[in-house]
Amino acid sequence: MPLRLGTKVFGDDELLVMAIVNRTRDSFYDGARTFELDAAVAAVDRAVADGAAIVDIGGVRAGAGPEVDVEEEIRRTVDVVAAVRRRHSDVVLSVDTWRAEVGRAVAEAGADLLNDAWGGYDPDLAQAAAEAGIGLVCTHAGGLAPRTDPDHPYYDDVTGDVVTTVVGLAERAVSLGVAPESILIDPGHDFGKTTAQSLRITRELERLTATGWPVLVALSRKDFIGETLGLPATDRLEGTLAATAVEAWLGARVFRAHDVVATRRVLDTVASIRGDRPPAVARRGLG
């Protein structure tokens, strides 16, 4: 199906980069580099210039850490959304939150998409997206509460559980009034999963793309990449890009990434191999 986010409609052959901009002091990779408002806005400017079609703004670290209450999360996200919307009228603005109060606040400020990485933990978040007429990312998190790590998660069929869960969340969102063409599903790599389980959903992604819902994958420098290679977050780019190429080939459409330029180049290469994008230059052997 087509994907409609904000003012943009994306075809099913388009591979999109969702740039990560965190307004946190304790990001597992970025640290506090984009915590200050000016730094966050500048990071969005760079991401757009580098080819990001979507920018995902987060105000709370996904992992354990100091508490960030609703008011503080709103403070960290709303002013970025408002500032970026004034500078970039057509870029798709996403906010990574599980809280309906935050969702309503950022929607009013100009957000186009709510990225619910915690799998509907707050059931009112989908309603907030419906009320605002904006999009929603429906993610599998294994039933975990926000900011908690998995403890020996077990699934008879992890990919099957992912498919059932995210399709159920998407269908619920539609029943509440979210437009079907503005919904994405995310298998939730690392969230409620061991490394082996994240690797399995990676190679079995076609089971998600077969549902017909546009698939978003958030692979960038995650622990399953680090454990696969035995490397810290700073050294996981090559592993991330390998997984990105695999998932693009298997049908994912949106790629949440720290490294926009590298991700964009990988996606362009995959698109050209598939025959969906002509080479930027075609003169070899042509005289």
Question: Catalytic amino acids?
Answer: 222, 256
Angle of helix 70-87 relative to helix 37-49, nearest 10 degrees, comes to 50
Q: In Å, how far are 15, 142, 277, 287 from 281, measured between CA atoms?
A: 20, 45, 11, 13
Of all residues in the chain, what percent are helix, strand and coil, respectively (each to 5)? 45, 15, 40
Buried b (16+ CB within 10 A) or exposed e, 7-38: eeebeeebbbbbbbbbbbebbbbbeeebbeee
Three-state DSSP at 239 gives helix
Element (H, E) at 58: strand 54-58
Rounded-to-integer distance, Cα 123 and Cα 87, Å: 32
Three-state DSSP at 85 gives helix
Element (H, E) at 166: helix 158-176
Q: In what order do the strands lie in the sheet with 92-96?
A: 183-186, 135-139, 113-116, 92-96, 54-58, 16-22, 254-257, 216-218
Q: Which residue has tokens 């995650």? A: 222
